[in-house]
Amino acid sequence: MVDADQTFVIVGGGLAGAKAAETLRSEGFTGRVILIGDERDHPYERPPLSKGYLLGKEERDSVFVHEPGWYAQADVELHLGQTVVAIDRAAHTVRLGDGTVVRYDKLLLATGAEPRRLDVPGTGLAGVHHLRRLAHADRLRHVLAALGRDNGHLVIAGAGWIGLEVAAAAREYGAEVTVVEPEPTPLHSVLGPEIGQMFTDLHAEHGVRFHFGARLTEITGQDGMVLAARTDDGEEHPAHDVLAAIGAAPRTALAESAGLALVDRADGGGVAVDASLRTSDPDIYAAGDVAAVDHGLYATQLRVEHWANALNGGPAAARAMLGKDVTYDRVPYFFSDQYDLGMEYSGWAPPGSYDQVVIRGDAGKREFIAFWLREGQVLAGMNVNVWDVTETVQHLIRTGARPDPDALSDPSRPLASLLP
């Protein structure tokens, strides 16, 4: 039984941490709730950083999870700009960078992920950027506006979601864009070549240049400013700015130093947690980008870096901390907006895990649903400019449906009629 004498500490001031704190209070927890974040901004949501806010279509205040006054009203002790440097599991304490020691009864790690860094000469130049934090987006907005105004060039290393969304934003500002990607198509490790090619065509129509099968080897500059980006096949691309968008790594250093079980990087990395989001220490939980969950639906330790996972994982961990029966096995979900294309993806089907892709609708008009199948079973689905189908797609995945491929590809057949 949880009582008012207990202290729950949340390390990580992002969406997962903020929603966990909210859930603790909404579930009636009356003990101390301490939320520690290493950024000075209040907890915020990340999707706008590469979408609406980056494009200047959303105000800065719109990204925050709660109004600033909410934390005091909910009696959540908010420590911003503070880094947790150590966990003492035996003493049930965390130590902050300023030496402060905070005791906990239950601890939630929601430390998120950090952008992977380019390991090439020239990354210290002023025009080299990452996009993970609100401060990054603040800076990049001004950069893209200036590039568009001056007909400047942006080189993006990586054709993943962040790389493509920033490419779309940069083109809307009027900047010249070149994307360097070692794989043969964008989003190759997520969507495979079948659907990845669609994103190549989409961006090419909007003036983005792709350089596939290559990696950046050097960023050259003068007087501290970027001049060009060179690739391992000898090409040189003019550039005024470079964005490193080569993925993110879970922030596991704190968990590792505390001796918590981790998942190998080759398998996605992250802090290993069970279906209730509990780590190898029964009083420590993990949620959001850093957590690799023992996922019953996919029978693997699955780490998902997207918004919906933080939105739902934080509350699930909070309920588990309160002793409630929790099984976190949601179908992974994410969304993206690029130019006039909007899409939602549900499921998990990395290349090699499926043997068939079925298209329902008109791929040429970019109004369709793609399904990834293995031996007839639906593993994942992505709706592109087709709406109000996500719930049905997720039901197909969760129930292990094996619909007839011809029926699955036929838009005249109601999707719900294919459920088992």
- Cβ distance 211 to 179 under 8 Å? yes
Stretch 355-380: mean pLDDT: 96
* Rounded Cα distance, 112 and 290, in Å: 5
Find where tokens 């790690």 sit.
109
- The residues, ordered by sequence, that sit 6+ positions from 276 with a Cβ below 8 Å of its Cβ are 285, 316, 320, 325, 326, 327, 328
Give the dihedral sign, CA 229/203/63/321.
negative
What type of residue sits at position 115? P
* Rounded Cα distance, 374 and 361, in Å: 20
* pLDDT level of residue 193 (50, 70, 90 thresholds): confident
**Side-chain-facing half-sphere of 260: CA atoms under 13 Å:** 34
Residues pairing with 377 in the sheet: 374
pLDDT, mean over the chain: 96
Stretch 70-98: mean pLDDT: 97
Lookup: tokens for 72: 């005091």
Region for 406 from its dihedrals, namely left if φ exceeds 0, alpha if ψ lies in -120 to 50, beta otherwise: alpha
Query: Per-residue pLDDT tens for 281-336?
Result: 999 999 999 999 999 888 889 999 999 999 999 999 999 999 999 999 999 999 99
Range in 32-41, 170-179, 184-193, 387-396 the model is least confident about: 184-193
* pLDDT level of residue 2 (50, 70, 90 thresholds): low
Lookup: tokens for 46: 């990340």
Give the dihedral sign, CA 158/191/299/391.
positive
Edge to edge, the sheet with strand 291-295 lists 271-273, 291-295, 300-303
Looking at residue 169, what is its pLDDT?
97
Q: Quick one: how many helices (H) and strands (E) in the chain?
A: 10, 26
- Cβ distance 171 to 206 under 8 Å? yes
* Rounded Cα distance, 363 and 337, in Å: 17
pTM reported for the whole predicted model: 0.95
* Rounded Cα distance, 194 and 259, in Å: 42
* Rounded Cα distance, 338 and 170, in Å: 11
- Mapped onto helix, strand or coil, the DSSP state of residue 230 is strand
Stretch 354-367: mean pLDDT: 95
- The residues, ordered by sequence, that sit 6+ positions from 69 with a Cβ below 8 Å of its Cβ are none
Q: Which domains does the chain have, with CATH numbers?
A: 7-114+249-321 (3.50.50.60), 128-246 (3.50.50.60), 340-418 (3.30.390.30)
Query: Per-residue pLDDT tens for 111-129?
Result: 999 999 999 999 999 999 9
pLDDT at 31 over 70: yes
pLDDT at 1 over 60: no
DSSP 73-110: HTTEEEETT--EEEEETTTTEEEETTS-EEE-SEEEE-
| Residues 363, 368, 373, 379, Cα dihedral to 10° | 140
